[in-house]
Amino acid sequence: MELPTGHQPGWELDVSDDETAPASTSESCVVLQSLRQSRDQWMYRAFPKFSGRVRGKPDPVPPPHTIHFRGRCDIEIGPHTFPETSFYEVQYLPPASVAPSFIQSPWQSQYSTAQPNAHPTAPLLSSLASTTSISPELIGRVNAAAASNPTLANLLHLAAAGKGSAEQLQTLGLLIQSLAAPYNPEASSSSAPAPLPQSSPQSQIPTPSTTPVKEFDLVFQYHESSQERWTLPRGPVICEKVADPRAPGLMYDIALTLALAVPSKAPSSSGEMINLQTPSPQVVTMRLKRPPPAIWEAIWKWVGGEEKIHENRKILDNLKKESQRVYLAHQIPESSLLTQLRNATASSHAMKSIKPNAVPPPRPKRKAPQHKPAQQSGNKTPASGSAQSVATTVASSASALTSSRTITGPPPQKRMKFPNPKPVAPLPEIRCVSCQQKDVPLILGGRFCRPCVDTGKAVTVYVPYKPPPNHGTGSESAATSSQTSGTTAVFQVPLPASSQQGS
């Protein structure tokens, strides 16, 4: 999405009275969309790709090389941070040496070139030229190189499975020949014929052409896209150490400034990215946060030393003067662009607050209903009789209504009945009847203490037993009185002080 830009800050606020006022910065969503597009640009289109996976296309095969891991660190590019970025040093292998071709003279020579004894070739090495001798030592070198070179290991796996294309098999052959060339310097001399007699001026021995080896590259890999690796482009580059304020003298950052031309691309109707324009190179500063020493050594060697940095600094200063700065519009009015920005930045996930809700208070326990004790049917009062008559009238009217109209429904649920706890009588206090003292041993039936008995404050009084009145029949009361007439009760009561003195 193309975002509006201007040549001075705040240019979008210069509007006339007839135009609508622009929306706020948060409602315009320009900054958010700009950050998203910028991060996508730095991750997938700003740097040349070294290796990776492309949908619908074969994997790009880099030239023969060896790769060495140098370390990990965080990268800061403007407002973006790419954590745990891996850095590699890629050393390219020399190309395979081409066997010299000989022009035979008109006369037949009796000289025959001795061919070396060829060892049985493995299926993986079938793409090699017939001039290369396959030895167990070479096979061991190939396996050792495949352990540290994922590209060589992938090509060997494809060749073993029979799925490698002609280009991949040719690349595999060149890789193996390049591994054999440094270790067999005598191969070319042994396979070359001895000097022939100069019997004819037409017989010549051309010298093989040597191709210079490509300079090594620095390759990095984002932690967010582990299947793709990108190359730091060569050009005017300067690097310098920046002391870390948290630990000055111990830790440092690397400020890497380079000229980078980011091509502008847009998706076509077929889904592929097409180039719209190639802008002029822009000066970009990358900050490597607290890298290991191996990364600094690789970058210093890659840049070219102090003299090269001094030359590149002048070039980058001229590029800064020529470049024109643009400013993003943070506020835009209501338009179709604002609608597109809001739709593009709208969250596709449901948002839920992580703040815990207020805990509701516990519900009060329901008290069990208290049932009044049923009254005994004894002497009925007129009020109870009238209430009974009213209840009978209501019951008869209710039965008449239910007989005329039946109400169907679920039966009422029976509530659990909890028995009412019986009241517990308070325990009597144990004390002396005479002096009212507590916590003293009592005698004479537990009523008097020993001092009261010794002083004569407790005497035994005989009181005849009188039965309670009985409302039964006359015969029952007579029998009861005859049985209890001879019974007496003995009580011990204290005497007044005056009576004790008189006695």
pLDDT value of residue 185:
41
Q: Are residues 338 and 228 in the same domain?
A: yes
Residue 115 lies in a domain: no
At 200-210, the pLDDT tens digits run 444 444 444 55
**Residue type for 237, please?**
V
Res. 29: pLDDT tops 50: yes
How many angstroms separate the CA atoms of 121 and 139, rounded?
Answer: 10
Greater confidence, 258 or 481? Answer: 258
Q: Are residues 264 and 218 in the same domain?
A: yes
Res. 110: pLDDT tops 70: no
Residue 12 lies in a domain: yes
At 277-314, the pLDDT tens digits run 456 788 999 999 999 999 999 999 999 889 999 999 99
Question: The tokens 């003292």 sit on which residue?
Answer: 437
Q: Are residues 85 and 220 in the same domain?
A: yes
pLDDT value of residue 268:
45
Range(s) of the domain holding residue 487: 442-495
The domain boundary, picked from 281, 310, 343, lies at 343
pLDDT value of residue 393:
52
How many angstroms separate the CA atoms of 46 and 263, rounded?
Answer: 7
How many angstroms separate the CA atoms of 35 and 264, rounded?
Answer: 16
pLDDT value of residue 103:
38
CA neighbor of 292 nearest in space, from 254, 324, 262, 328: 254
Residue 373 lies in a domain: no
Q: Are residues 157 and 262 in the same domain?
A: no
**Residue type for 397, please?**
S
Q: Are residues 64 and 15 in the same domain?
A: yes
With cut-offs at 50, 70 and 90, classify the pLDDT of residue 403. Answer: very low
For 86-108, b/e burial (b = at least 16 CB within 10 A) is: bbbbbebbebbbeeeeeeebeee
pLDDT, mean of residues 33-57: 84
Q: Are residues 26 and 143 in the same domain?
A: no
Q: Are residues 259 and 336 in the same domain?
A: yes
Q: Are 299 and 218 in contact (CB under 8 A)?
A: yes
Greater confidence, 95 or 25? Answer: 25
Q: Are residues 244 and 307 in the same domain?
A: yes
At 232-284, the pLDDT tens digits run 998 899 999 998 777 777 789 999 999 988 765 544 444 455 454 456 788 99
Residue 376 lies in a domain: no
Residue 468 lies in a domain: yes
The domain boundary, picked from 343, 374, 391, lies at 343
Contacts by 446-454, CB closer than 8 A, 24 or more apart: 447/492, 448/492, 448/494, 452/494
pLDDT value of residue 460:
60
Q: Are residues 325 and 180 in the same domain?
A: no
Residue 206 lies in a domain: no
Greater confidence, 251 or 489? Answer: 251
At 421-450, the pLDDT tens digits run 788 888 778 888 888 888 888 888 888 888
Sorted by sequence, the CB contacts under 8 Å of residue 172 that are 6+ apart come out as 124, 127, 152, 155, 156, 159, 164
- Phi first, then psi, for residue 206 (nearest 5°) are -75, 150
Number of domains making up the chain:
3
CA neighbor of 99 nearest in space, from 73, 129, 56: 129
Residue 29 lies in a domain: yes
How many angstroms separate the CA atoms of 88 and 229, rounded?
Answer: 9
Percent of the chain with pLDDT over 70: 64
At 127-179, the pLDDT tens digits run 454 445 567 777 777 877 877 777 788 788 788 777 778 777 878 888 887 77
The domain boundary, picked from 298, 319, 343, lies at 343
pLDDT, mean of residues 317-340: 85
How many angstroms separate the CA atoms of 429 and 439, rounded?
Answer: 10
Q: Are 276 and 296 in contact (CB under 8 A)?
A: no
Res. 117: pLDDT tops 50: no
Q: Are residues 177 and 74 in the same domain?
A: no
Q: Are residues 231 and 301 in the same domain?
A: yes
Q: Are residues 69 and 179 in the same domain?
A: no
Residue 209 lies in a domain: no
The two tokens of residue 198 are 């100069």
